Amino acid sequence: MTVTPDTLSLIGNTPLVRLAGPSADTGCEILAKCEFANPGASVKDRAALFIVNDAEEKGLIGPGGTIVEGTAGNTGIGLALVANAKGYKTIIVMPETQSREKMDTLRALGAELVLVPAAPYSNPGHFVHTSRRIAEETENALWANQFDNIANRKAHIMGTAEEIWAQTGGKVDGFTCAVGTGGTFAGVGLGLKAKRDDIVIALSDPDGAALYSYYACGELKAEGSSVAEGIGQGRITANLEGAPVDAQFRISDAEGLVQVHRLLEEEGLCLGLSSGINVAGAIELARQMGPGKTIVTILCDTGFRYLSTLYNAQWLESKGLVVPASLRSN
């Protein structure tokens, strides 16, 4: 038994769990990093801590400073908890379409929340551009800039990828996940390729994102749409530049949701939709690689963040998504 010296040391070193159902389906070992076990309950705590530590080392933020960021919510939660532990303030800009639970969590953490209408990246009102402007207008402020600040992917090169390598004893054949900023995908991909070049790195892209077509045929082209929060990218961010991509899949919300509800019913794990899309992608990669392989993916955040959406029958119906039996009865 050991004592963790401080709360920020709780970030990272997450468990790697074997998923029984997906493993049985494919004859592969489907293993998943439990990123919901981070103190902010998502994979984004890792990037938040690395970005703030990196900025401190470079003298970009000092005592009494304010961290400003545009986010779908999870990076904001990670930054707010890191800021509280280090004595900074946070201003978080978020599209108003994101889950109420994320907004409530940010307010509870003491962040100043700025909600903006969902808009394309080309629109100056987009949450990323709004956050940059607020940072420029705020004294002693750091713009975390998670999409193009590669301290984000370093968290996964030095953390997540090293952990996966150690936890599998180097026995890993494939890795897949979806992209928000690309920090997780590119960071784990680069980290694992540096260990062994034949590990297959596959992108699991949701509908409405442009990366599947980019990696398949060199053209950034989006088709369809997705209700998954935190993923779905339309450009090559700095974090994505040079990412190794051996294969790419398009995963629909319906396919991801099947895995989300199944992981809850069969394995007792309550997760967000990006986790379901990742598991659906891992099953696809396992089918392509054949039985006996070890495939790793990411369980990005807790489903308690989506009780009013993914785990709510009325909401699912309003989006034309299948309501599982467990939600129909109550």
Active site residues: 44
**Element spanning 116, H or E:** strand 112-116
Q: Confirm or reject binding of residue 191 to ligand PMP (CB under 6 A).
A: no
Q: Count of alpha carbons within 13 Å of 232, Cβ hemisphere only?
A: 23
Q: Report the nearest approach of ligand PMP to the CB of residue 150 (Å).
A: 12
What distance in Å separates the CA atoms of residue 140 and residue 62, rounded to the nearest whole number? 7
Query: Which one of the spans 18-26, 137-145, 180-188, 313-321 is the region binding ligand PMP (CB under 6 A)?
Result: 180-188
Taking only Cα atoms into account, the Rg of the chain, rounded to an integer number of angstroms, comes to 19
Tokens representing 165 are 């390598």
Q: Could you write out the DSSP letters of every residue in 225-253? A: ----SS---SS--TTTTT---SEEEEE-H
CB of 231 to ligand PMP, least distance (A): 5
272 in contact with ligand PMP (CB under 6 A): yes
Tell me how far, at minimum, the Cβ of 157 lies from ligand PMP, in Å.
Answer: 12
Binding mask 110-149 for ligand PMP (x = CB under 6 A): ----------------------------------------
What length does the chain have? 330
Name the segment binding ligand PMP (CB under 6 A); options: 21-29, 114-122, 183-191, 309-317: 183-191
Q: Among residues 80, 34, 18, which one has the least CA distance to residue 302?
A: 34
Residue 298 beta carbon to ligand PMP: minimum distance, rounded to whole angstroms: 7
Q: Confirm if 237 and 181 have CB atoms less than 8 A apart.
A: yes
Is position 229 an interface residue for ligand PMP (rule: CB under 6 A)? yes
- Work out which of 14, 74, 130, 145 binds ligand PMP, going by CB under 6 A: 74
Q: Report the alpha-carbon distance of residue 265 to residue 157 in Å, rounded.
A: 33
Positive/negative CA dihedral, 79, 77, 40, 29: negative
Closest CB to ligand PMP among 23 and 99? 99
Residues that bind ligand PMP (rule: CB under 6 A) add up to a total of: 20
Nearer Cβ to ligand PMP, position 167 or 184? 184
Of 32, 111, 300, 316, the residue at the interface with ligand PMP (CB under 6 A) is: 300
Return d(Cα 275, Cα 255) in angstroms, integer: 11
- Which residue sits closest to ligand PMP, CB atoms considered? 230
Positions that interact with ligand PMP (CB under 6 A): 42-44, 72, 74, 178-185, 229-231, 272, 274, 300-301
